Structure 1
């Protein structure tokens, strides 16, 4: 014998009824079955809403007529149930009130209607079936609204009833309801239909209880919230009981306990996908470890503070007795030791009642000022991690903090195998995804906003899209670009932007400010946020601090933030530190070369860096490497560099020496020097008359540069070439160093003189290495190289 239980969602439409009937047909062929049903679809909520309309003298009759005329109500004789409802509603309307006893009678009609309709449909399909009212054998206490079965009496009556039932007839039993020994209707509380099914399976000693729902089984987290949640194939009764105790919506502790008694397996199945094997819950041992994450929403925190009660015996007993007398169940509890502080979680609907109960209990203590306050924090959620060992919870907790989620309360069970976190309700979905990704090793999702989609930005976006699947396969990191913006418009897609982004940006982008991007990320519960600045904008850096304060890590190929005032530089780093965020900018100097990281490591290790010198600009490297050895006018070499994308859009940014100056300043500040940009001695290579003209005019006047550079080239000594270098020197242990950029001639045989193409070279002199510098050399310009360097920063952050 198998007991099949169908929930309200499984019966919610004509197609759903067909699925249920097809399942029953299949199961009948396998052996005897009993059916347990919930009320159809939203019936329970509808009946309760009509009850409230009647209580408040509103037009309940229209809503009741709409309910009576539901199409599927014509498929069975439910006049008795509708007549009971009509009289109850009329009575409530007359007295303008109702209690839990009346409410139980009203809600019970939903299950009775469901049982009759399914039985009628089965008979119409040629399957002999009969509706069964479980009030005939489930005898309960008189705790209306959440009754408990009196098991010995109920068991005897159940066994007697089914012994007398025709063995060829399928019993369609009402879930959720029972009756007192006086015949008064009761309901069995939350998940009451599942409890009914478990009791029935226990009493008739079924081989298995099969609970048909709208999902394929129990998952590592709610699959509606966590897209990569995984189905759990098997659970032990104890593990399922823990899940039930911590709020897993598909289970309830009362459901598990009756099954354990006779070792009856429970299988969670999907009505819409009956071929799936679902999740089996039994006494079979399973692998140890974390099983699932559950969420309880709609809870509130009640905080009790009584400094004057410190050390007084019996305070906790008074608190919980007062709550118990009001029928209030308490969840997560936290207690302070330095003062008499007590916080505990209750259902939000019970929060005011809990506070009132405590105010009454401690009224005299308020008068004597031994109790300071009783307060409520609403709109909270509890995330419970079943099987979590506290000793390994450091990474999930750190990931929450990195994502700007700081739990309000933290609790672990005595066994240390379950951890619960209380967070704000609006943070719950994001928190669940963050913790789930950390715990189960499923691809960690990194949500990226790219600002600046020109040559470097566009190349980066393409690199990410092309490499995303490979990175997910190899590193378990899922990169998703949710925003692409320029100075005016942004394209947003919380599911991730695809390879058609260039066309979509034309058609679907919208005007924006940075707060709207932040709000979009929050509204869509996006975790592990990275903002990438591939602009050259001095305006965009104003967004850095708001982004950091709202949970974004930063990556930038834009040098301006690191080279404007030292006060901003310092403020940004203080903000990063306060918000536990990272700011990576390896491409600021040397494009994709590992220069900044090397200098950081040397400095942090205590190495005394005495000088840094080199060709900092890949653009100027390309220009002077070629101009020094080719018989071409300077303007032609410059045009080649522009065409290859080696220069800034306005090449004067390179030729002015400002770009080299900024890079030099960035390195100086990595050594904790407090230099300002204005203190750098910079040789500007642009003739005065071309410095102030607009960009198009300058680009049309490049030939005017030739006389100036021809003269310099003609003055070169034999076997020398031109190089534009930057140098940081002076006493670098003080607050400021000496920063200088200039065009010099160097021997062709020297390290600087042997540079080719757009390579950069950096010589790092230290106290330990003396006159033998550490040399870093490689490609120093180009969109692809720079984008690849930014990509490297993304992966560094993702690993963290």
Structure 2
């Protein structure tokens, strides 16, 4: 025999109830011996409780009851529910008259939900020619007299169940009410939380069923709540022990009292979806194919009660007094945490019990307050508990570090005696984000990286397209899901928590959201986005002012914008202090050398204790191209400059390159990587633009390019034989002191030297160290171009995804 149990959402009007009837019909057609247990339909229990409260408050409840009746009979006018409706009318009328009700009355009211459900299903089946028998479980399940949470008397209940099924069996399908029973006085009782599932488990136990099938509105048990964690995965099989752990730690589909009757008889439990009958669901059995499955479970509406006092140190019996005081008020403690000193004890209780818990503890420790052994009993409201089932402390560092990185700091945590389950208490507002962060680390499902891109010009636009083109491949290879959730320019902001697509340019043009850092940050918080990275592809000094705000709100930073690293040294230090305080990172490899691994190399050498004595190189791809051609070809300087401009290698105003400030900023960035405290004013820069051309408009300047020729023809002709011109940045001096010497100037070098051999628009860098002596480390490659720079920024993003 199989026991089929259907939950309230499965029995809702429409597809739900239709699917239930089809599932039962199919089982009968397949000649399966089944019994069916039903819950109250849809939201009936909550609705009945609401009507009861309304009646007790002496308010108008009739319209609520009418709506309840209408829903129950909506598509089934032929079903006779007059007995149950008459009962409800009498009960509510009496409650309204008295203005109060007992738990006994409440049980009688709530029982009608299951009775209505079972009668309706029975009559629908009978109308379809299927022999179904309405079975009131009050005639089967004998309980004690604890209304609201009655405990079954198993021996008496089993006798009644066996007797009933000996008579009503064979071709007849028993449709049994869940959740309800009766005491020995034949008074209606209810079985408390998960009561209908408990009824089904008891029947399975008493009848030695081959399987209990629990039909719900989900595909089974998941590694986390899929409503909160989109990447949650269905668990195909669980052991009874694992299921019992999940039940103890708040899994909504399971309850410990539901599992125990099944364990006793080794009866498999299958969780199935009424709305997706093709899904195989989750099978809970004594011998699953794979053990060691992990899952995340939550208690959402909780409160943390803290008891603090110096006098608790070493005092015996404090815990016993706490549990005794709370036990008298029937307050359950889900977690207790304390240090070995016992100066503070934290208790996690249901939020609705928090006030009563404090009152109970204040009374219990009243004398201790007077003696100052206890000085504080306080409540932290709105907390949630996340339990990581199947995880031991040896692996706990990964999810814990990921939480800290995402600025979710657990209020407390503990592990079970078995060492296989870890529970954390977090602020309820951080629950959604915390679950996703932990889930990604524990199950090593693709870690979602949420990226905001500021600036979508040549570099920014190329970067976005590179990420979109590579995202699927990176997820397959690295289990990292790159999700660009925001793109911003100076005027508009495009937001999409699920990620932008290839049509992002049109989308941002049509966006009606004004560009705002605050709007973006609030959006990320509202959508619980984790692993945040802000990418600055602007050249804006104004935007740099947002860095600290982004850091404080959980963003790591990646930047191709050099400005932040070349402002005052005080700003530079303060920015790094902010990064350290918030445990965030800031990567900017493309600030010098575009996509070349220059900054990383220097950083690693410096951190390893290598004494770097000099850094020299051709820092500008634009000026590299200009002087390579001018040195090697018989062509005027103005002609090469015009071609450089025409090829798009320069800024719109070419003087921005020729002034040398960009090279100066790059050189300063490298100096600061060596912990030197130089300011931009310390950089000696040779300006390549004749003084009389510096103040002209761009148009006028471009008309006078021939005036460069006499100056640079003379410089070229005065070189030694075999030499070439290079515009070089040079950091030297005693680099162990506070400041180094920084020069940016045009020099003549042998054509066969390292700097002399650079070609095209390449950059080249020489790093001299104490260990390597006069044989420098040389890094050479493309030093300019949107694609190269964007690829360098992309590399920094990927470095961040591998941290923590």
TM-score by length of 1: 0.97
In the alignment of these two chains, the number of paired residues is 800
Q: Deviations for 1:734-780, whole angstroms, at most 9, x for unmatched residues?
A: 00000110112222222212111111111111111111111111111
Query: Is residue 286 of structure 2 the alignment partner of residue 279 of structure 1?
Result: no
1:290, 1:385 within 8 Å by CA — same for their partners in 2?
A: no
Correspondence for 2:208: 205
Correspondence for 1:522: 525
Change (3 A) 1:68 1:705: farther
Distance 1:766 1:648 in 2: 34
2:559, 2:591 within 8 Å by CA — same for their partners in 1?
A: yes
Structure 1, 356-365 or 549-558: larger mean CA deviation: 356-365
Query: Is residue 356 of structure 2 the alignment partner of residue 360 of structure 1?
Result: no
Correspondence for 2:63: 62
Following TM superposition, by how much is the alpha carbon of 1:340 offset from its aligned partner in structure 2, in angstroms? 2.9
Correspondence for 1:252: 255
Correspondence for 2:220: 217
2:766, 2:779 within 8 Å by CA — same for their partners in 1?
A: yes
2:490, 2:515 within 8 Å by CA — same for their partners in 1?
A: no
- SS of equivalent residue, structure 2 residue 528: coil
Correspondence for 1:152: 155
Q: Any residues of structure 2 matched to 1:53-92 within 5 Å, and which?
A: 53-70=54-71, 71-72=74-75, 74-92=77-95
Change (3 A) 1:228 1:655: same
1:645, 1:782 within 8 Å by CA — same for their partners in 2?
A: no
Change (3 A) 1:704 1:58: farther
1:645, 1:783 within 8 Å by CA — same for their partners in 2?
A: no
| Residue among 435, 438, 447 paired with 2:438 | 435
Following TM superposition, by how much is the alpha carbon of 1:113 offset from its aligned partner in structure 2, in angstroms? 0.8
2:51, 2:64 within 8 Å by CA — same for their partners in 1?
A: yes
Structure 1, 250-259 or 712-721: larger mean CA deviation: 712-721
Q: Any residues of structure 2 matched to 1:468-483 within 5 Å, and which?
A: 468-483=471-486
| Residue among 618, 625, 628 paired with 1:622 | 625
Distance 1:150 1:229 in 2: 39
Following TM superposition, by how much is the alpha carbon of 1:700 offset from its aligned partner in structure 2, in angstroms? 6.4
Correspondence for 1:113: 116
Q: Any residues of structure 2 matched to 1:132-281 within 5 Å, and which?
A: 132-281=135-284
Q: Any residues of structure 2 matched to 1:538-577 within 5 Å, and which?
A: 538-577=541-580
Distance 2:501 2:595 in 1: 25
Structure 1, 265-274 or 139-148: larger mean CA deviation: 139-148
Q: Deviations for 1:275-299, whole angstroms, at most 9, x for unmatched residues?
A: 2111110111453434211121111
Following TM superposition, by how much is the alpha carbon of 1:504 offset from its aligned partner in structure 2, in angstroms? 0.8
2:617, 2:764 within 8 Å by CA — same for their partners in 1?
A: yes
1:492, 1:509 within 8 Å by CA — same for their partners in 2?
A: no
| Residue among 379, 383, 394 paired with 1:391 | 394
Distance 1:364 1:158 in 2: 54
Change (3 A) 1:702 1:180: farther
In structure 2, runs of 5+ residues without a counterpart are none
Change (3 A) 1:236 1:637: same
Following TM superposition, by how much is the alpha carbon of 1:639 offset from its aligned partner in structure 2, in angstroms? 4.4
Change (3 A) 1:124 1:627: farther
Following TM superposition, by how much is the alpha carbon of 1:708 offset from its aligned partner in structure 2, in angstroms? 4.5
Q: Any residues of structure 2 matched to 1:301-320 within 5 Å, and which?
A: 301-320=304-323
- SS of equivalent residue, structure 2 residue 541: coil
Q: Any residues of structure 2 matched to 1:628-667 within 5 Å, and which?
A: 628-667=631-670
Distance 2:713 2:88 in 1: 101
Change (3 A) 1:249 1:467: same
- SS of equivalent residue, structure 1 residue 736: coil
Change (3 A) 1:38 1:747: same
Following TM superposition, by how much is the alpha carbon of 1:23 offset from its aligned partner in structure 2, in angstroms? 0.9
Following TM superposition, by how much is the alpha carbon of 1:629 offset from its aligned partner in structure 2, in angstroms? 2.6
Correspondence for 1:501: 504
Query: Is residue 385 of structure 2 the alignment partner of residue 382 of structure 1?
Result: yes
Distance 1:113 1:96 in 2: 26
2:242, 2:293 within 8 Å by CA — same for their partners in 1?
A: no
Correspondence for 2:16: 16
Structure 1, 389-398 or 662-671: larger mean CA deviation: 389-398
Distance 1:484 1:79 in 2: 61
Change (3 A) 1:373 1:716: same
Structure 1, 445-454 or 366-375: larger mean CA deviation: 366-375
Query: Is residue 58 of structure 2 the alignment partner of residue 37 of structure 1?
Result: no
TM-score by length of 2: 0.97
2:446, 2:479 within 8 Å by CA — same for their partners in 1?
A: yes
Q: Any residues of structure 2 matched to 1:610-759 within 5 Å, and which?
A: 610-693=613-696, 698=701, 702=705, 705-706=708-709, 708-759=711-762
Distance 1:10 1:639 in 2: 75
Q: Any residues of structure 2 matched to 1:444-483 within 5 Å, and which?
A: 444-483=447-486
In structure 1, runs of 5+ residues without a counterpart are none
- SS of equivalent residue, structure 1 residue 725: strand
Distance 1:163 1:26 in 2: 23
Change (3 A) 1:695 1:157: farther
- SS of equivalent residue, structure 1 residue 212: strand
Following TM superposition, by how much is the alpha carbon of 1:123 offset from its aligned partner in structure 2, in angstroms? 1.4
Following TM superposition, by how much is the alpha carbon of 1:431 offset from its aligned partner in structure 2, in angstroms? 1.1
Correspondence for 1:588: 591
Q: Deviations for 1:326-353, whole angstroms, at most 9, x for unmatched residues?
A: 1111101101233431111111111111
Change (3 A) 1:73 1:261: same
Query: Is residue 329 of structure 2 the alignment partner of residue 326 of structure 1?
Result: yes
Q: Deviations for 1:259-287, whole angstroms, at most 9, x for unmatched residues?
A: 01111100000111112111110111453
- SS of equivalent residue, structure 1 residue 138: coil
| Residue among 586, 594, 604 paired with 1:601 | 604
Following TM superposition, by how much is the alpha carbon of 1:694 offset from its aligned partner in structure 2, in angstroms? 5.6
Distance 1:210 1:697 in 2: 84
Change (3 A) 1:405 1:489: same
- SS of equivalent residue, structure 2 residue 424: strand
Distance 1:151 1:697 in 2: 100
Distance 1:180 1:700 in 2: 103
Distance 1:608 1:494 in 2: 46
Following TM superposition, by how much is the alpha carbon of 1:455 offset from its aligned partner in structure 2, in angstroms? 0.2
Change (3 A) 1:756 1:196: same
Following TM superposition, by how much is the alpha carbon of 1:703 offset from its aligned partner in structure 2, in angstroms? 5.4
Q: Deviations for 1:623-651, whole angstroms, at most 9, x for unmatched residues?
A: 21123233444444334434544334443
Distance 2:753 2:289 in 1: 68
- SS of equivalent residue, structure 1 residue 539: helix
